[in-house]
Amino acid sequence: MSSAIHAVLEERGATRRDLVAGHSLGEYSAIVSVGGLTPAEGAKIVRARGKFMQEAVPVGSGSMAVLIGGSIEQAQEICTEAAGGDVLSIANINAPGQIVIAGTKAAVDRAIEIAKSKGVRRAALLPVSAPFHCALMKPAEEKLQPILDAAHFKDLWVALVSNVDASPIGTATAVRNALLRQVVSPVRWVESIQHMISKGVRRFVEIGPGNVLTGLIKRIDSSVELINVSDVPSIEAFVQKGKA
Q: List the catalytic residues.
A: 24, 133
Give the separation between CA 232 and CA 10, rounded to whole angstroms: 14
Q: Is 64 helix (H, G, I), strand (E, B) or coil?
A: strand
- Contact, 56 vs 129, CB < 8 A? no
Give the separation between CA 87 and CA 93, rounded to whole angstroms: 18
Distances (CA, A) of 69 to 60, 118, 149: 27, 11, 40
For 216, residues 6+ apart whose C-beta sits below 8 A from its C-beta are 94, 95, 98, 189, 193
Q: Dihedrals φ, ψ of 216, to 5°?
A: -65, -45
- Contact, 161 vs 196, CB < 8 A? yes
